[in-house]
Structure 1
């Protein structure tokens, strides 16, 4: 019975399909893990657009961020008699 479970013949054709998919996922895990590790280790470090220069922090010339004012809708005033 161990062999039947191993090759997926215990459930017939659907069992073989499930065994194939499980083995395919198991075989792809080391490959995808390596690709993720390689991408993190050898990633090119670029400049960030929002970064504040260090010289600006020392001299106090830090650029201020300008945020738009929030838009508020006027509320309706209803008089109750």
Structure 2
């Protein structure tokens, strides 16, 4: 995905609305794409939140206690608290 596509995706995240294009480009420049395989854990419940995730392709599920709490797809995001605090 091109950096310009990252900026477009970030513009749709409520947390980043109100930021200038310059600020969004700065965030996009620090972003990196991480591919995950089907069934692979991205974050484990109770672990320190170390990153903000924005789904650009595919699907993910939020599972708590073995139960699917929410299904996520392109444009969905999670891990916002990692931007402010790394505690679980």
TM-score tier (shorter): under 0.3
Indicate the structure with greater strand content: 2
Structure number with the higher helix fraction is 1
Normalising by the residue count of structure 1, what TM-score does the alignment of the two structures yield? 0.19
Larger Rg: 1
| TM-score, normalised by the number of residues in structure 2 | 0.18
